[in-house]
């Protein structure tokens, strides 16, 4: 039998162990790790197969600003399935139920930092932003017009 439900507080150690496994230990190994200690049970959705934890998912509530307006966002995290339970549709079932739960909670947007973006397209995710980072030694740059700039900065109360 397959049951899709939130993990209980007592099951968070197993949630953390599976999260540590599927992410290669980057969050720590064993029952006490970043996943089991920082993810709240009410943020989780799991698939249990014959009572055994098979697949995990969490959505962390955030608030983002879109065009200046605050908007609730579900930060999707810790998505993973035990190898022996893969290719059975468990992740799809969890995602479908989670998206319904998010909609009911008034979270119109979900965000995911995907380790492998192509996997998540099948669940409706798409690239929305790209992150770029530049490091420039300011000794090597000048203003285009040659003006080094002058003036002062003054802080005012609004």
Confidence of residue 28 (pLDDT cuts 50, 70, 90): low
* Residue whose token pair is 């996997």: 119
User: What share of the chain has pLDDT > 70, as a percent?
Assistant: 92
Q: How far apart are CA 121 and CA 99, in angstroms?
A: 14
Domain chopping of the chain, boundaries: 2-140
More confident: 1 or 122: 1
* Residue whose token pair is 């790209």: 130
Q: How far apart are CA 83 and CA 54, in angstroms?
A: 9
Dmax of the chain from CA atoms?
Answer: 72
Confidence of residue 158 (pLDDT cuts 50, 70, 90): confident
pLDDT of residue 93 exceeding 90, the answer is yes
| Strand ranges inside the chain, DSSP E | 2-5, 44-49, 52-66, 69-81, 109-112
| Residues 6 or more apart whose Cβ sits within 8 Å of residue 93 | 2, 4, 47
Residue ranges of alpha helices (H) inside the chain are: 12-22, 34-38, 90-104, 117-120
| pLDDT reported for residue 26 | 67
| pLDDT reported for residue 113 | 75
Kindly report, residue by residue over 113-133, the tens digit of the pLDDT.
777 777 778 777 777 777 677
Contact 62, 107 (CB under 8 A): no
Average predicted confidence (pLDDT) for the chain: 85
| pLDDT reported for residue 31 | 67
Confidence of residue 42 (pLDDT cuts 50, 70, 90): very high
List, in sequence order, every residue forming a beta bridge with 73; answer none if it has no partner. Answer: 62, 109
| Domain 2-140, CATH | 3.40.630.30
């Amino acid at each position: 039998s397959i049951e899709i439900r939130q993990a209980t507080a007592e099951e968070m150690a197993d949630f953390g162990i599976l999260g540590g496994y599927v992410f290669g230990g980057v969050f720590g190994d064993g029952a006490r790790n970043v996943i089991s200690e920082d993810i709240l049970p009410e943020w989780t959705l799991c698939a249990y197969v014959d009572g055994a934890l098979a697949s995990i998912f969490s959505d962390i509530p955030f608030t983002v600003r879109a065009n200046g307006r605050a908007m609730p966002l579900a930060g999707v995290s810790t998505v993973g399935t035990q190898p022996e339970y893969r290719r059975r549709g468990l992740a799809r079932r969890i995602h479908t139920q989670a998206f319904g739960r998010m909609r009911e909670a008034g979270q119109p947007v979900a965000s995911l930092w995907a380790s492998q973006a192509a996997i998540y397209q099948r669940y409706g995710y798409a690239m929305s932003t790209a992150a770029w980072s530049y490091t420039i030694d300011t000794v090597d740059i000048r203003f285009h017009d040659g003006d080094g700039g002058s003036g002062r900065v003054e802080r005012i109360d609004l």
